Amino acid sequence: MPGYRDDSMRILTVLFGGVLLLFLIAGGYAAATKGVGAAAGGALIIVAGSAIGLLFGLLFGAPHSSGQSSTTGILVLNTSFDQMSDWLTKILVGVGLTQLVAVPSRLQALGNFLAPAVGGTEAGASFATTLALGSAVLGFLISFVFTKLVLSPDLADAGYETLKDRAQKAVNSNPGAQTLAPRERQRAANLAENLAKVHLTRQEDVMVLDPSLWDDIADQAIAMVNEDRQRSRVAHEADGNRLKQ
């Protein structure tokens, strides 16, 4: 498992622990004030706030495809969702910046709206606002971390599987591969896939995904395998000469 995946699991565990802590705080507040009804209201606020945060985290952290054209013959991810995510993210940020001066009054209105769920007092309004904001922030971070460190790499790997198929086909159909042993041919296919990934990382999509250029990638990979084989042969001969001396 990659290191970043381990880190993401630790971060998500801490964030989920924060949500659990909010539930415990809501339960403690309810036990000290209005009882079961306030506990249920607080739980609903946390669930709703977390759901809103999860949605926004998904929109801000949604993985984006590289914009490759389907005419290249490579199966690519549907870009509709990440385009919508990009539009909504820009709209939300723009609207949020224009409404900063209204934030205090909006928070007060939110507290007054949620207060009946946790007892209806002034303290309840502040407590409800805190629960809503805290759960929304935690939900956002959970969703953002998950989409960035878990979902995005998985989708990228799924997309690269098509590169593996194309790389294998390009190497097998290349005349230079006929002189390679099966193990060397497979190594050349793996090298061709890695070369394609490097180009994708550099956003050189056309160069990698144009079918007419796969032969160049296969040539490079086969040449690398032949160079390694030649170096191994030279090293083996040198060792043999030393033993003879």
Look at residue 194 in the predicted model and tell me its pLDDT. Answer: 85
> CA distances (Å), 239 to each of 203, 227, 231, 242, 243, in order?
44, 18, 12, 5, 6
Look at residue 16 in the predicted model and tell me its pLDDT. Answer: 93
Q: Which residue has the higher pLDDT, 14 or 59?
A: 14
Q: Of the ranges 23-37, 159-173, 199-213, which one carries the lowest mean pLDDT score? A: 199-213
Task: Specify the residue for token string 């381990």.
Answer: 6
Look at residue 17 in the predicted model and tell me its pLDDT. Answer: 94
126-136: pLDDT as tens digits: 888 999 999 99
Look at residue 48 in the predicted model and tell me its pLDDT. Answer: 93
- Measured at the CA of 202, the angle between CA 201 and CA 208, to 5 degrees, comes to 85
Residues whose CB falls within 8 Å of the CB of residue 191, separated by 6 or more in sequence, listed in order: 220, 221, 224, 225
The token pair that represents 204 in the structure block: 């050189």
Please name which of 187, 161, 160, 189 lies closest in space to residue 174, comparing C-alpha atoms.
189
Would the pTM of this model clear 0.85, i.e. be above it?
A: no
Residue 75 has pLDDT above 60, yes or no: no
Q: Report d(CA 85, CA 99) in Å as an integer.
A: 21
- What's 191's DSSP letter? H
Q: Which residue has the higher pLDDT, 19 or 215?
A: 19
Mean per-residue pLDDT, 43-55: 92
160-170: pLDDT as tens digits: 556 777 888 88
Q: What is the 3-state secondary structure (H, E, C) of 148-183?
A: HHHHHHHHHHHHHHHHHHHHHHHHHCCHHHHHCCHH
- Measured at the CA of 230, the angle between CA 225 and CA 236, to 5 degrees, comes to 125
Rg (CA), the chain: 28
Mean per-residue pLDDT, 97-103: 74
- Name the pLDDT band for 69 (thresholds 50, 70, 90): very low
